[in-house]
Chains A and B, each alone.
With several copies, the nearest count.
Chain A
Amino acid sequence: MADKSLEVKELAFAYPDGHQALYGVNLELSRGERVALLGPNGAGKTTLVMHLNGILPTMQGSVKVAGQLVDAKDKVGLLKIRHKVGIVFQDPDDQLFMPTVGEDVAFGPYNAGLRGAELETAVREALQLVGMYEFIDRPPHHLSFGQRRRVAVATVLAMKPEILVMDEPSSNLDPASRRELAEIVRSLDITLLMVTHDLPFAYELCERSVILSGGVIVADENTADILRNSSLLAKHRLELPKGFAL
C-alpha cells in the first residue's frame, strides 16, 4: 500500500448544523503525483482538506495517508498523520505567528520531537528549498506577500511530509512570484494536492486534475483534457481566463 500517498474512500460529512458538505468522495494519489483539486466555491474543497489530517473527524468512509488510517480518536496516530500531511493555508498570516522566520519553520519539527542540530538542519534545508534561508532571523511580518507564502511552504516542508496540500497557492501573487513558486513546487520530490481556482496554474504544475462539485468528485482526468472540455468546466462554474490557450 505504500505506493499510495493518499486514499480517500466514500468520504461523507455533514456539519453539526446539518449542512452536508461531502457525499462520498473517492480519491487516490500515488506517491510523487501532483494533482489539482478544482471546483466552484462551496463545493466542499476545504472540508475535504480538513479531513486529510483529521482536523475534521471522519464521519463515514475512510481516509488513509501512506497506508495509515486517519482516526480522530487515536490521538497518537493523529499526531503522526499531521506530520505526514503538510497543509499550506491560503493566507500565510494564519500560519506564521512566531517572531522570526526561523522559529516559525522550526515549529512543526519541534512538535515532532526534533531538537538541537537535527532541528537546525531541518529548518535550514526547508528554507533553502524555497530560497528564503537568508531571511531566517527576520520577522515574517516584514516580508512581502510572496516571500511569506514561500516561508509558509517551508514551515510545512520542514516536517518532511508524505503529502503536501496547498490551498490556493497562487492567490495574490504577482506574476514573477507566481512563477518562482511554480519552480519551487516543480523542484520538490513530493506528492502534491493543490486546491486552486487558477486553472492555468493547475495546467502548469499538475498532470492530473479532479473536479469536486456538490460534494462528489465529478471528473478525474488528465488536466489538459479537463481544461479542453469547456462544457464540463462551465457546468461547475469553472472557466479558463480569456486569451488562454492550451
Chain B
Amino acid sequence: MATPISNWLAYLGFFALILTAIKLAQLLFKTVALRSLIEIPFVLFAFLMPFFGTGETIEVLGITLYENGILAGLGIIAKGTLGILTAILLSSTTTAREILRGLERLKVPTLIIQIATFMLRYTNVVNDEMERMRIARASRGFEATGVKHWKILGQSAGALFIRSYERGERVHLSMVSRGYQGLMPQIEAQSTTRQDLLLGFSLPVLATFLSITTRMIG
C-alpha cells in the first residue's frame, strides 16, 4: 500500500487483479459486495476529507473543496476497499486452520495460536448458547427496544460469561485428564506444493510489478 494515490493506473490494475482473483476463487460477487459493507463508516469519513485541507481549492455547486482533501479521501476509499477485498479473499479461500498454520510458520507465539484455536473451536458453541438464550427470552414475550432493556441484556451477558468461564474450566480439566502439561500437540505442517506457492506469490508479485511499471510510465 505504498503506492501514491495519484498513480491511478496502478490502482485500476490492483482492482483488476483482486477481482480476477475473486473470480478465480469462484466467490460470488454479491457475497463479496455484502461483506464489503463493513467499510461504510470509513467511506463516510473519507467523504468529509474534501472539506478539510490546505492549498488548492475548487468550487463544486458553490461549496469550496480542497483538492488535496479530495485526493486523500479517494486514497482512503481506494486503499481501504483494496484492503477489505484482499482480506475477504483471504478469509473466504483459506480455512481458519490454514491461517493458523500460516501464523505458526510466521513465528507467532504458540500460546496466541492456542488461544485462537480455542476461540475458533468454541465460537459456534457459545454463539449457539447465546442464540438459544435469545429465543428463550423472546418466547417469554421479551423484545429489547431501548435503553430500558439494557439491564436484561446485561444479565444475559453476565450469564453467558459464567457459562463460558465454567466451560473453560471444564475444558481445562478434560485436557489435564488426558495428560496435558501446558504444551499442545504441534499442528502438523501440511506440505505446500510448489504450485500453491507460485499461485500464492503471484498476487503480491503482480501487484508490485504494477506499482513499479505504472510509476515508470506515469
Contacts and interface: CB of A to CB of B under 8 A. Distances in A.
Given A55-B173, A82-B140, A83-B141, A99 B185 contact: no
Interface in B196-211: none
B125 interface: yes
B177 interface: yes
Given A55-B139, A82-B141, A97-B133, A91 B170 contact: yes
A91 B120 CA distance: 18
Interface residues of B, number: 43
Contact of B132 (A53, A91, A156): A91
Given A93-B125, A141-B125, A108 B140 contact: yes
A126 to B, nearest CB: 12
Interface string A71-108: 00000000100110111010101111111100100111
Contacts of B6: none
A20 interface: no
* Chain A interface residue number, banded: 20 to 34
A141 B162 contact: yes
B30 interface: no
Contact of A111 (B129, B156, B179): B179
Contacts of B152: 107
B111 interface: no
Contacts of A95: 133, 136, 171, 174
B177 A97 contact: no
Given A98-B155, A99-B155, A89 B97 contact: no
A159 B178 contact: yes
A95 B129 CA distance: 10
Report whether over half of chain B's contact residues are helix, strand or loop; otherwise say mixed. helix
A89 B132 contact: yes
A155 interface: yes
Contact of A87 (B171, B177, B183): B177
A201 B155 CA distance: 34
A99 B171 contact: no
A181 to B, nearest CB: 18
B148 to A, nearest CB: 12
Given A55-B139, A94-B129, A111 B124 contact: no
Contacts of B136: 87, 89, 94-95
A78 to B, nearest CB: 9
A112 B141 CA distance: 7
A97 B156 contact: yes
B135 interface: yes
Interface in B99-121: 117-118, 120-121
B116 to A, nearest CB: 10
5 contacts: A97-B175, A107-B185, A111-B179, A141-B162, A159-B178
